[in-house]
Homo-oligomer: A and B are copies of this chain.
Amino acid sequence: MAAKKDDTGPALPPAIEGAWGLRERPPKGPRPGLSVPAIVDAAVRVADADGLAAVSMSRVARELGAATMALYRYVGSKDELLMLMVDTGYGPSPGPPGPKDDWRTGLTRWAWAEHDVLRQRSWLLHVPISGPPITPQQLGWMEDGLRCLDGTTLGESEKMSVLLLITGYVRNEATLTAQIAEGSRAAGVEPAEMMPAYSRMVSRLIDPARFPALHRVLAAGVLNQDDDPDDEFAFGLDRILDGVEALIQRRAH
């Protein structure tokens, strides 16, 4: 009676359970010609090469020399495939902080690690995420982030909030720079010329009397100079960590 109490809320899709190492292959029937990891790898390869929009079931199947519908024996839907793609796309987390690292050093490294992944695989930003993380590597990232805050005065709930704050920032910053890159490719402009072109366009559109502050920003040439996006990233990250530091100080009081 109490033995089969796995009915814990909404069921996990079979392919996700597979990612956690549960679920063994049934002994009957013909040998599977494909495997979930092979499919996911192929899909990731397509996304790396031609972007997320190129990832269709038929394209992934072609990549594997299989028929489109063969994939549905392994993944329940395209959304499920996308979820698994995100998991392997992020890859293993950067590992726990070193024993001598303070929380700030650790979180900085953690944030830069995600930053690097998203720079490399900008298609991750286009995957419509449909819920909190449930895949192994995703939770691995979360674990390592939490460990950075282990010795601090923060409560468990606050640690979680801080992590969400940082990961949100990283994703947002990556989204913005990826948009510039993709926009320039779509418009046929070289990336360095993108922001100046944008700046010129906005200058032409706005009335300086109705948009004085914006006009001042444009006049200062803020959007023209293509300063290192990494500096921009570091700036915002330090702002957030300053805020976290203020909280930690207050809790220690």
Contacts and interface: CB of A to CB of B under 8 A. Distances in A.
Interface of A: 6, 8-10, 12, 20, 126, 128-132, 134, 139-140, 142-143, 146-147, 150, 155-162, 164-165, 168-169, 171-173, 175-176, 179-180, 182-183, 186-189, 193, 196-198, 200-202, 204-206, 210-214, 216-217, 220, 222-223, 232, 235-236, 238-244, 246-247
A236 B8 contact: no
Nearest to A186: B130
Contacts of A129: 175, 179
B160 A169 contact: no
Q: Provide the main secondary structure of the chain A interface.
A: helix
Contacts of A217: 146, 156, 159-160
Residue from A156, A179, A186, A239 having most chain B Cβ neighbours under 10 A = A239
Contact of A211 (B139, B171, B193, B213): B139
A179 B131 CA distance: 5
Copies of the chain in the assembly: 2
Contacts of A212: 143, 147
A216 B143 CA distance: 10
Nearest to A128: B126
28 contacts: A8-B200, A9-B189, A9-B193, A10-B201, A12-B205, A129-B175, A130-B179, A131-B183, A131-B198, A132-B180, A134-B198, A134-B202, A139-B206, A139-B214, A143-B211, A143-B214, A146-B213, A146-B216, A156-B217, A157-B220, A158-B235, A159-B217, A160-B217, A168-B169, A168-B173, A168-B176, A240-B243, A242-B242
A243 B206 CA distance: 31
Contacts of A156: 216-217, 220, 222
A9 B202 contact: no
Given A9-B200, A130-B182, A150-B213, 17 more contacts: A9-B187, A9-B196, A12-B205, A20-B205, A126-B128, A132-B198, A134-B201, A134-B202, A134-B205, A139-B206, A143-B210, A155-B220, A156-B220, A168-B168, A169-B172, A242-B243, A242-B247
Contacts of A214: 139, 142-143, 146
